[in-house]
Amino acid sequence: MAGTAPRADTLPAEWWERLGARLIEALVLGVFYYILFIALWGVFRTVGMLELLDGRLPGLGAALLAGAGYTAYDWWAHSRGGRTFGKAIMRIRLIPEVPTSGAALKRALVYPGPLMLIGIPVVNLLAGMLLFAVGLLILMDKPLERGPHDRLAGTRVVKDLR
């Protein structure tokens, strides 16, 4: 809610802290993607399937696997400790407004879930627009700075002052 004030014991994470955390994780995800791409390229070349989908099959497979892996990691890390390694480096964490068992899963499926679709032509444009809109909505939601994924899951990203 845009008009709701933050709780007194927490400070919302700044947009640049959230962006920094995602960029740190994106660097690792990019390395993981390229390792998968090279491995899949070699496998598809060996079995004679490299030319399927005009040679896009290794990229599509790597995007699906890397996106699914990142989504699963995001869910696992947030459900266990409230933060990913990027959030730990940026000293921010995820807190539930109302504790529920599926909050981290709902959050991960809305964002970064669409990353799985980045390798599919045309659909990748829609996924990219969704991810851009999530970032834009975080900037517009004052003072809590929550995106649609936070609202759906009932979570907030706050400064970790411990």
User: What pLDDT score was predicted for residue 111?
Assistant: 87
Candidate from 27-36, 40-49, 81-90, 117-126 with smallest mean pLDDT: 117-126
**pLDDT digits 0-9 by tens, 45-102:** 999 888 888 888 899 999 999 999 999 999 999 998 899 999 999 999 999 887 676 8
For the whole model, what pTM was predicted?
0.84
Which H, E and C letters describe the chain, residue by residue? Answer: CCCCCCCCCCCECCHHHHHHHHHHHHHHHHHHHHHHHHHHHHHHHHCCCCCHHHHCHHHHHHHHHHHHHHHHHHHHHHHHCCCCHHHHHHCEEEEECCCCCCHHHHHHHHCCHHHHHCCCCCHHHHHHHHHHHHHHHHHHCCCCCCCHHHHHHCEEEEECCC
